[in-house]
A and B are shown apart, each in its own frame.
Chain A
Amino acid sequence: MQRYPAMPDARARRAFLHTAAGLGALVLMRGGHAAQRIELPLPGGPDGRELTGAFAGKRQMILQRTRPPLLETPFSVFDEGVFTPVDRFYVRWHWADIPTHIDPRTFKMKISGHVERELEFTVFDLMQRFEHVEIAAVNQCSGNSRGFFQPRVPGGQWGNGAMGNARWTGVRLKDVLDAAGVKAGAVQVQCEGADRPPVADAPNLKKSLAIDHARDGEVMIAWAMNGQSLPLLNGFPFRLVVPGWYATYWTKMLQHVRVLAEPDTNFWMHPAYEIPDNWPRADMKPGEAGVKMVPINRLVPRSFITKPVSGAHVGAGRPQPVRGIAFGGDTGVKAVQLSLDGGKTWIDTELGPDHGKYSFRQWRAHLTLPRGAHTISVRCTNSDGLQQPLTSNWNPGGFMRNVVEAVTVLAV
């Protein structure tokens, strides 16, 4: 193990040597296995899901799969604030052999491959050696909203809750790579977590970023979200944060960073997690042959109405509050607009505080509706001028859904 100069900031040293009350609660099992259920309006079903409180560090979550865990954030959580609470943040694992005990004093990440020197770091080494940075960013599963694809496709049948927004604290991957000394000719940086397949010789999850992307100063190794340590289920003690990119690249329990001199051809880069090569649509026809596929990459804009919810009754003939969240994807939110005529005309909304271009952005408006049923559509335009489409995309992986969303309400 490498040794490093003492931490320059004694206050920061105290901060992590000090015992923080409250964090201990994260390791406790939440008591009770409530038999509550929730309906996800997935076309053709099945749309009943159990709400579970049986997972460490998590309150009520939508149980998509018990082992390995797929836990979805109930959509009402997104109405409660711009940052998603850690104990409601969605969970997605690929392989079932997940470490259930980690001591941050001994868990190390290794950096190896096409570098001048191999290095190992505990989370405390990272804290001491590198400058701390913080960024607000949306973490969204590539397959968020897969359950709405028609025709339906196999995979995790998520509603819209396989996403969350957090303030991530950690260090720049660039600084860590610089410490190891990236050699000329490096092309990619491959990340692997501490989870493993339960069967021998199955392909472990490994994801790679282009070397320039890995060194852009935004990609981070984060040990905190919203000022709290990550729960094990979200990648304790640290995970990769790739602002503006789909969560498949946000390696949890980061254990190994390999600098590659050749492009990564492992299964999880190709053919898994590939989209039709027409970003931002990621669109093709079911059964279409000969479509060029590329690794999924940058997020596309999305927006949601969090209140009122579909089916709600609202007051007729007087201004009614409508609110929600949006994100621009790989850049900020320029505008969020509402439509009452299926997208022919659009009504501006007022944007909430800007927490940075990769964050959720809250918005609100007031609509005066005559008596009767109304469909309210919402559309985000990002800072690059990219708008959500009015028609859904389709691809066999169920990736990158970002069609204009709508709720139907009854004004009475």
Chain B
Amino acid sequence: MRPSFYAIVILLLLIAGTGPVRAAQPAPTLRPQNMRLPGGSATFPGTDAGARATNAYCLMCHSADMVMNQPSLTAQTWLAEVNKMKNVFKAPIPPEQVPVIADYLARIKGPK
């Protein structure tokens, strides 16, 4: 048998397989990666108690653009969102600040 016969047999064995295709290409070299994440430092507009509370308790977890990109939502929906942030996602919002923040959000992002 000539060597090329064995080469073909080996090649066919390599190609054979089930499910996902056996990778044909060598894996990429993996090198350490670094990144700098933009902070998203914009604050909520206004200087009233609602804006102050929203800036104080919401921005520790997410940037303001998340809220500003939301559609108009009812006061009831905003209250549910703020309660979810406090009760499920553990935002340290004092209980008396929950309606203050929800009212503010309904004002800036509520039905016109």
A residues neighboring B (CB under 8 Å) = 11-12, 14-20, 23-24, 26-27, 29, 42, 44-46, 49, 52, 54-57, 63-70, 95-96, 98, 100-105, 123-124, 127, 131-135, 147, 152, 154, 156-157, 169, 172, 197-203, 217-218, 220, 223-224, 227-229, 231-233, 236-237, 267, 356
Contacts and interface: CB of A to CB of B under 8 A. Distances in A.
Contacts of A229: 28-31, 33
Nearest to B80: A154
A104 to B, nearest CB: 4
Nearest to A18: B29
Can you list the 10 inter-chain pairs with the closest CB atoms, starting with the nearest? A66-B40, A15-B26, A56-B35, A133-B20, A152-B71, A20-B29, A132-B23, A135-B20, A66-B63, A67-B40
Interface in B1-52: 17-40
A100 to B, nearest CB: 5
Interface residues of B, number: 43
A67 B35 contact: no
Contact of B20 (A52, A70, A220): A220
B18 A217 contact: yes
Given A98-B37, A197-B89, A203-B88, A67 B62 contact: yes
B57 to A, nearest CB: 10
Contacts, number: 180
Nearest to A202: B90
B63 A67 contact: yes
The B interface is mostly helix, strand or loop, or mixed, namely loop
A223 to B, nearest CB: 6
B97 to A, nearest CB: 15
B25 A169 contact: yes
B100 interface: no
Contacts of B60: 198-199
27 contacts: A14-B26, A15-B29, A17-B29, A23-B28, A27-B34, A29-B35, A42-B71, A55-B38, A56-B36, A65-B69, A66-B38, A101-B32, A101-B35, A132-B23, A133-B22, A154-B70, A154-B81, A157-B70, A172-B19, A197-B89, A198-B61, A199-B90, A202-B88, A202-B89, A203-B89, A217-B19, A232-B34
B72 interface: yes
